[in-house]
Amino acid sequence: MNAQSPSDYLRDAELLAVQVDDLPADTPTRPVEQVAVIGAGTMGGGIAMVFSNAGIPVVLIEQAQEGLDRGLGTIQANYDRTASKGKISQQDVDDRMGRITPTLSLDDAADADLVIEAVFEDMDVKKGLFTRLDAIVKPGAILATNTSRLDIDEIAAVTSRPQDVIGLHFFSPANVMRLLEVVRGAQTAPDVIQTSMQLAQRIGKKPVLARICDGFIGNRMLTPYRREAEFVVEEGASPKQVDDTLKDFGMAMGPFAMGDLAGLDVSWAGRKRQAATRPKHLRYSTVADQLCEAGRFGQKTGAGWYRYEKGDRTPHPDPQVDEIIEKAAADAGIERQQISENEIIDRTMLALVNEGAQLLDEGIAQRASDIDVVYVNGYGYPAERGGPMRWAEDRGLPAVLAKLEEYHAKHGDYWKPAELIRRRVAEGAGRF
């Protein structure tokens, strides 16, 4: 058990997350006084606002005038809305808009100290862009990708300066969400890592360092969380029951409403990318794929796991979704039954914890508390529980291991307990 209150634990966790274990405290940093952001969509526009809000001039680059105008319009509307609530003055709005310079020319990134790409989540697109940036951007500039899943080393490899490449994974909406995953590549220079961690604090973010794997810390853990949510739906729960149960647990949103908000096509693209390497003996739910195949991408198309009325974000259960779920379950030979709230919580939360322990063992995350910082600040995990790893410690690692072993026996290889949990329990340890 953890003697600290969850709030004290999280405060200390956020302070600790800034420290990079293998970097001396006096590691130098590079100056960042001019930033270029490539892509003026939701992410790029939000990232541009983050730097402008911190007083740092931004060149915002798009390839088409229409996209640039749309992006600037969204930024202006965001600032106007904030001003209308009395949170900033009209002068603040003018100053912040004035620090953002729109352009259609990639050459305008030439003088930037930091370039952040926020373009389409496609490896070939990103590699093509980084090849061009390598020829344009000044020596010593930091080249950052906002990718949420892709291999940063593969992106860095197309440049002549892989030591200058890093992942800066902002969370949407970037101008609101406090978390920043700083993802170091195999060749990322120490001063680039140090600069990124300190810059994150300068722009009001809470940085957590990660190494490279598919999804880094947050999204890699989200995969088994969503998997179990989809499995319990096939087994008899409804999307609304799962979402309501997890909201009662304290999550800001349930996984299905969250998926609809983010856009189901984003994770669909990832699943299609991984399809060839997915082990065939492991269970796979086709429900989310079928929703996407039917053009149901979430709120933006008016239908996903739920249906939405025009101009309203309220999720309404949809009988069409129930039909898809029931047919998928029948096709998979699953006999549907009542699912308890405890089962929903255990299946989703322990999936998070087990994956988090695996990440720790692989060295993707530096410490268990870093994972909790990620989940509380980026994924709506209830702060009063301290994060998924703290929740597991409070529950007791032996009890966690016993439940994982029960699920392993019942549900197969997905539930093989992380070796770190086995070791810590064998050592008699109460914490990760």
**What pLDDT was estimated at residue 266?**
82
Task: Tell me which of 169, 281, 316, 408 is the catalytic residue.
Answer: 169
Reading the chain (432 residues) residue by residue, the pLDDT tens digits are 578 999 999 999 999 999 999 999 899 999 999 999 999 999 999 999 999 999 999 999 999 999 999 999 999 999 999 999 999 999 999 999 999 999 999 999 999 999 999 999 899 999 999 999 999 999 999 999 999 989 999 999 999 999 999 999 999 899 999 999 999 999 999 999 999 999 999 999 999 999 999 999 999 999 999 999 999 999 999 999 999 999 999 999 999 999 999 899 988 988 888 888 989 899 999 999 999 999 999 999 999 999 999 989 999 999 999 999 999 999 999 999 999 999 999 999 999 999 999 999 999 999 999 999 999 999 999 999 999 999 999 999 999 999 999 999 999 999 999 999 999 999 999 999
Q: What residues have CB less than 8 Å from 401, skipping those under 6 apart?
A: 417, 421, 422, 425
Q: DSSP states of 298-325 as a string?
A: BGGGTBSSSB--TT----B--HHHHHHH
Q: Which domains does the chain have, with CATH numbers?
A: 22-210 (3.40.50.720)
Residue 18, phi-psi category: left (phi > 0), alpha (psi -120 to 50), beta (remainder): alpha
* Number of Cβ within a 10 Å radius of residue 123: 14
Between the alpha carbon of residue 269 and those of residues 35, 262, 289, the distances in Å are: 29, 13, 10
The helix-helix angle for 218-235 and 368-378 (nearest 10°) equals 70
Cα separations in angstroms, 368 against 283, 342, 361, 383, 421? 29, 24, 10, 15, 12
What is residue 56's predicted lDDT score, i.e. its pLDDT?
98
**25, 68 in Cβ contact below 8 A?**
no
169 catalytic per annotation: yes
CA distance 376 to 208: 12
Q: What pLDDT does residue 1 have? A: 58
Residue 62, phi then psi, degrees to nearest 5: -130, 160
Helix-then-strand count for the chain, H and E: 18, 8
d(C-alpha 263, C-alpha 271), whole Å: 14
Q: Note the pTM of the prediction, 2 decimals.
A: 0.95
Q: Is 344 left (phi over 0), alpha (psi -120 to 50) or beta?
A: alpha
Query: What does the alpha-carbon distance between residue 99 and residue 333 come to, in Å, rounded to a whole number?
Result: 59
Give the tokens for residue 229.
């949510």
Length of the chain: 432
**For residues 223 and 230, what is the distance between their CA atoms, to the nearest angstrom?**
11
d(CA 117, CA 143): 8
Count of alpha carbons within 13 angstroms of residue 33, beta-carbon side: 2
> Checking phi first, is residue 36 left (phi over 0); if not, alpha (psi -120 to 50) or beta?
beta
